[in-house]
Amino acid sequence: MTREKRPAFSAREDAAEELLGHRFARPELLTEALTHRSAARGKGSNERLEFVGDRVLGLLVAEWLAERFPNEREGALGRRLAALVSQPVLAGIAEAAELSQVIDVAPNEAKAGVKRRATVLADALEAVIGALFLDGGLGPARAFVRRAYEPVLAAQASPPKDPKTALQEWAQARGLDLPQYVLAERHGPPHAPAFSIVVSLAGRTGSGSAGTKREAERMAAAELLSHLS
């Protein structure tokens, strides 16, 4: 993407435009999308754009899945969608897209390695997708999502099982009690809560943390399945 650099843009935002493949008409959207709440310093953090990007990403992935797998039923498409928009996948895509290099966090948080935390990376990815949509509509957001997601989607040969369903089936096949999920901790501000869930089965446990109980339970189930397998 060849273009004249705008004087008001910092090197961070300029590099981000290169990574996203889009020149922003409203550069303040990109600045906001890259700003972690620890670095807000009186300006907006990326939490509102994350909210928008989450919905846009779901729409664009659902659209793509319907095109790519025209003969699959809704249940199979839903499992693919849930896996593709899960926090671990989002974080991996954000890392592959090198977003960790352009996220703005407070200096002390940067020293603690916050930029590489899965929650921070996933939130940043959704925020930049939200910014792309608000700046240029579905076109730029779709182009970025399909480019970034292509390797992941290509590797998803068959619809994955939801981790909670797979864990329940594992227990039932062995005549065991169903998995037990317990809320271990709820933390964070009211507008951005985080939940930590512990799941127990067959004397083993798994844990997960996410912005919703449902996602935290999925992550905990996935971790426990990896131990049981």
For the chain, the distance separating the N- and C-terminal CA atoms, rounded to the nearest angstrom, is 46
147 and 170 housed in the same domain = no
137 and 63 housed in the same domain = yes
pTM over 0.75: no
31 and 140 housed in the same domain = yes
151 and 167 housed in the same domain = no
Say what the pLDDT of residue 131 is.
97
21 and 96 housed in the same domain = yes
Task: Point out the least confidently predicted range of 23-37, 51-65, 186-200.
Answer: 186-200
Say what the pLDDT of residue 8 is.
52
Residues 65-97: tens digit of each pLDDT: 999 999 999 988 988 898 888 888 898 999 999
**Which residue among 130, 155, 180 closes a domain?**
155
Q: What is the CATH number of the domain that holds 223?
A: 3.30.160.20
- Residue 36, domain member (yes or no): yes
State the Cα–Cα distance between residues 37 and 24, nearest whole angstrom. Answer: 22
Domains of the chain: total: 2
- Residue 4, domain member (yes or no): no
Q: What is the mean pLDDT of residues 143-161?
A: 89
State the Cα–Cα distance between residues 153 and 144, nearest whole angstrom. Answer: 14
Say what the pLDDT of residue 7 is.
47
**Range of the structural domain that residue 217 is part of:** 163-228
Which residues are designated catalytic? 54, 126
